[in-house]
Amino acid sequence: MAFTTLKLEYEGEVATLTFNRPDRRNAISPEVAEDLGAALEEVEAGPARVLILTGAGKAFCAGLDLATLRDLAERTKDNYRLQPGGVKDGFPVGLDANIAEARSMARMFRRLYEFSKPTIAAVNGPAIAGGCGIATLCDLTLAAPEAKFGYTEVKIGFMPAVVSVFLIRQIGEKRARDLLLTGRIFGADEALRLGLVNEVVPGEHLMARARELAAGLLEVSPTGLAFTKRLIHDLSTEDLDRELELAAERSARIRFTSDYHEGLTAFLEKRKPAWKGE
């Protein structure tokens, strides 16, 4: 299958998916999300037994791209102005559409989290917001020393709703609170200490180490791997269903606040936001 935003290559039983928008720091757009879903389907249905994810150029994946953010700003610019009369069945007008969009994002992350074959992220540079989620949801995550991580949504009046569901599971609530509430950027060494990264590898050896790990995974039972991955997922399926639905609903609701509108607009205009706290 031909993809416009990524490359999918095969070497024996190892597939390598490369986010391929280096001029835009491999940022997420609707096309990237669609390509990622289609690529995962192709790899899952094919003979490859391990999937490596990485980024072209100097970034792994820098979150939502500017065009997508501008589209969000335009589509939600009047949400925060809704008056009490702009309510239907107890919900602000347009909330259902926003929940549907948030559910779509949740499905993308969950698809990667529940992928039936082992996944290895080779994080070659910044992995921010949604990109950080993609990097850390893989079974194994390698990072070059220059890699940067961060759940930065609060800085633009938004919230890292969906990724928080997975982050708390990975590193615990106290550490997750630090990253989610501050929105700070942190380096590869701290990501290793937190347990979000398995190894820090010199950039020039990053892909070689990813292939070495893949080769090791090819030596064990594919049935054993599949059953083990399925067990890990099934242990938390019911909780994930509930928590991701709650995250989608909250992600949609914050789009009806003035701070969301102000933060997104200020980011696009490259100025400091004037928060109202509402």
Residues catalogued as catalytic: 153
Any bridge partners for residue 121, and if so which? 53, 141
- E-strand stretches of 50-182: 50-55, 87-88, 91-92, 119-123, 127-128, 140-143, 148-150
Neighbours of 229 (CB within 10 A): 17
Which amino acid type is present at position 90? Answer: G
Cα–Cα dist 112/135, whole Å: 10
* 143 closest CA partner among 85, 189, 89, 194: 189
Cβ atoms of 45 and 113 closer than 8 Å = no
* 125 closest CA partner among 193, 30, 24, 217: 24
Cα–Cα dist 24/116, whole Å: 30
**Residue 230: both structure tokens together:** 């399925």
Q: Which residues are CB-contacts of 19 (< 8 A; sequence separation ≥ 6)?
A: 5, 6, 26, 32, 53, 54, 55, 56, 60, 61
Which amino acid type is present at position 117? Answer: K
Cα–Cα dist 210/202, whole Å: 12
